[in-house]
Amino acid sequence: MMPLTRLSEEQALSAEARADLYARHTEASRLTPRSAEIDAVWRGLYNTPTRDELVSALRAMSDGKCAYCECVDPRDVEHFYPKSRHPERMFRWDNLLFVCKTCNLDKTSRFPLEGTQALLIEPSAEDPARFFWWDPVTGRPLLDSEPTRRRRAEETIKILPRLKHQDLAEERRKLRLDVLFFLTEVLEEVPRPPDVVARLATLLSPTQPWRSVLRQLVSEEPTVIAAVRARAPELAPLLDALPPMPPRPLAPLPPAP
Ligand SMILES: [Zn+2]
């Protein structure tokens, strides 16, 4: 999961689309949770210019990828607060994400709350890397040790099991190794290999899948990255576009023997 920057509704949507969503929101706010009409009210948006606009704004927010698993095949508008339980949030811009079929079906209406706090991580509201990241060797999730964050990471992965799926772990592991190999080639080959720089530019593009593992790689290898920046300055904007990982508190020292 990558942190996402959500534009304001005014920046993301036209005045017409916002007015349409507001009218639908007013209608949806009258519905009670689990009402049989919820799906029909949502389907009223289908095949409208507003939905097209909404989809393209949400797609842009996650660089054309699933906001949860980072695959390149998102298709569904996802209600972070499920519309079955929170119809009053059904048409709210800040409750919507664009996700793949698998993540949407996995989540369905699973949405545990602790008090008013959602346990699922919303990537436009919080940096997912504060809660979990990837094991560089296996590509599998590693969870923060702080109990509250760990619990939210566990719940997020339980709700979205695709995040720990072996195929995706393998994709992440392989991507990390490929990029590390190409970075080394840029530094070691004389003359500088243009095809390798072009390959790296493709792999570092924001529209590529599993980018969170590259974000982590860039933070973990500052010396390599600084040298690559100097040797291939055209890659610098792509490297800069990967947000730094949040600082992580040091693990406590093991007890003295
Ligand atoms: Zn997904």
105-131: per-residue pLDDT in tens?
999 889 999 999 999 999 999 999 999
Per-residue pLDDT, 193 = 84
Q: How far is the CA of 171 from the centre of ligand 1 (A)?
A: 14
- CA–CA distances in Å: residue 13 to residues 8, 9, 55, 66, 88: 9, 6, 10, 20, 20
Single-letter residue type at 247: P
Angle of helix 222-231 relative to helix 211-220, nearest 10 degrees?
100
Q: How far is the CA of 169 from the centre of ligand 1 (A)?
A: 14
* CA of 121 relative to ligand 1 center, distance in Å: 14
**What is the pTM for the complete model shown?**
0.93
Rounded to an integer, what distance in angstroms lies between the CA atom of residue 211 and that of residue 209?
Answer: 6
Distance 250 CA to ligand 1 centre (A): 31
Element (H, E) at 134: strand 132-134
At 219-255, the pLDDT tens digits run 999 999 999 999 999 999 999 999 999 987 655 566 7
For the segment 35-74, what is each residue's pLDDT rounded down to a tens digit? 999 999 999 999 999 999 999 999 999 999 999 999 999 9
Distance between Cα 159 and ligand 1 center (Å) = 12
Phi, psi at 13, each rounded to 5°: -130, 150
Residue positions counted in the chain? 257
66 Cα to the center of ligand 1, angstroms: 5
- Residue 74 CA to ligand 1 center (angstroms) comes to 7
Q: How far is the CA of 27 from the centre of ligand 1 (A)?
A: 30
Distance 162 CA to ligand 1 centre (A): 7
The number of beta carbons lying within 10 Å of the beta carbon of residue 213 is: 23
Least confident of 151-165, 173-187, 235-249: 235-249
Which residues contact residue 11 at a Cβ distance below 8 angstroms, ignoring those fewer than 6 apart?
Answer: none
Which candidate, 63, 94, 66, places its Cα nearest to that of 81?
A: 94
pLDDT score for 45:
97
